[in-house]
């Protein structure tokens, strides 16, 4: 379980394998002593298992395996040497829940439709950035205005919804502390809808009268 609050931006340093299974090596500032073999790490959204951890400079390099389903459903299949990814280690009992409950089970990819700078009158902290995205048709109904959504591992609040399109707003700090400043129109991002919305919809379906 995760919160969608990014704690490091890692860099892919090696990719091996094919469409059935790939081993990806990620360089991170994480202390290797704090990562157990088999630990779950959210890598730009998908929850992946650390299968090898080695010390490297002031941080570490950890390896994860991505199976065919992950490669097909997420952006992991496009990662190459040099790709930067948002990282979050799994939530521990007693940790602050600053974002929202995130499982790391990605529903699909959303496409960025536009990016625009938004400056509020009188602001001295710089412009925020609004991203408008299109959700996959089968999960669009789970996205609600003022609800939560996880995009590339980042917990964000939905500002507006119109059909299968929705928008989110990132403050300058969020841009600089994640990979979002690299994102442009046309880019795909990993999408996980809110866990509560998913279960609420399932409960409603189960109570609906049979046709």
Exposed e or buried b per residue across 147-168, where buried means at least 16 C-beta atoms within 10 angstroms of its C-beta:
bbbbbbbbbbebeebeebbbbb
Q: Is 168 helix (H, G, I), strand (E, B) or coil?
A: strand
Question: What one-character DSSP code corresponds to residue 64?
Answer: E
- List all residues 6 or more positions away from 190 whose beta carbon is below 8 Å from its beta carbon: 44, 45, 46, 74, 75, 106, 109, 150, 151, 152, 153
How is residue 132 written in tokens?
């408008």
Residues labelled catalytic: 2, 40, 47, 49, 67, 105, 157
């Amino acid at each position: 379980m995760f919160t969608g609050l990014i704690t490091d931006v890692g860099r892919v340093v090696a990719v091996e394998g094919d469409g059935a299974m790939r081993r990806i090596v990620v360089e991170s500032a994480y202390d290797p002593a704090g990562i157990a073999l088999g630990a779950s790490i959210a890598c730009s959204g998908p929850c992946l298992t650390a299968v090898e951890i080695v010390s490297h400079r002031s941080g570490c390099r950890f390896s994860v395996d991505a199976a065919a389903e992950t490669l097909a459903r997420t952006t992991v299949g496009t990662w190459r040497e040099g790709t930067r990814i948002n990282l979050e280690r799994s939530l521990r009992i007693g940790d602050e829940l600053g974002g929202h409950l995130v499982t790391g089970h990605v529903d699909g990819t959303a496409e960025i439709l536009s990016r625009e700078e938004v400056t509020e009158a009188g602001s001295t902290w710089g412009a925020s950035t609004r991203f408008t995205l299109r959700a996959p048709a089968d999960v669009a109904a789970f996205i609600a205005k003022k609800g939560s959504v996880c995009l590339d591992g980042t917990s964000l609040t939905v500002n507006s919804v119109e059909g299968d399109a929705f928008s989110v707003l990132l403050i300058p700090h969020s841009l600089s502390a994640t990979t979002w400043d690299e994102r442009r129109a046309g880019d795909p991002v990993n999408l996980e809808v809110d866990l509560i919305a998913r279960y609420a919809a399932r409960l409603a379906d189960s109570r609906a009268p049979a046709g």
